[in-house]
Copies of this chain bind each other. A is one copy, B any other.
């Protein structure tokens, strides 16, 4: 896909890093709230292992998603927009071509 080999200007890299950090902080914050809430509802062993399963899945997702590599960033941003952790507006500073591709991928 064309955008995978696209050049990133310094301005774009700065904007990308900022958007990436916003999404990361937002998703992790929501995850911490969710873990606290789930933990407060743990009343028996099955609840505890469900919390463990939930953390296993989220750790895998977060580790996979927040691996900052320019070559994959369009796809990462598309996933973040799709899942509601980032809005298209927050990608301001990226080229219109990249933003269009991210929006298109996010809507798939």
Contacts and interface: CB of A to CB of B under 8 A. Distances in A.
User: Which range holds the interface residue count of chain A?
Assistant: 20 to 34
20 contacts: A28-B44, A32-B42, A32-B43, A32-B45, A32-B48, A35-B42, A35-B48, A35-B51, A36-B42, A38-B39, A39-B51, A45-B62, A48-B55, A49-B59, A51-B55, A52-B55, A52-B56, A52-B59, A55-B55, A56-B56
* Interface SS of chain A: helix
A35 B51 CA distance: 10
Copies of this chain present in the complex amount to 2
A6 interface: no
A31 interface: yes
Contacts of A48: 28, 31-32, 35, 55
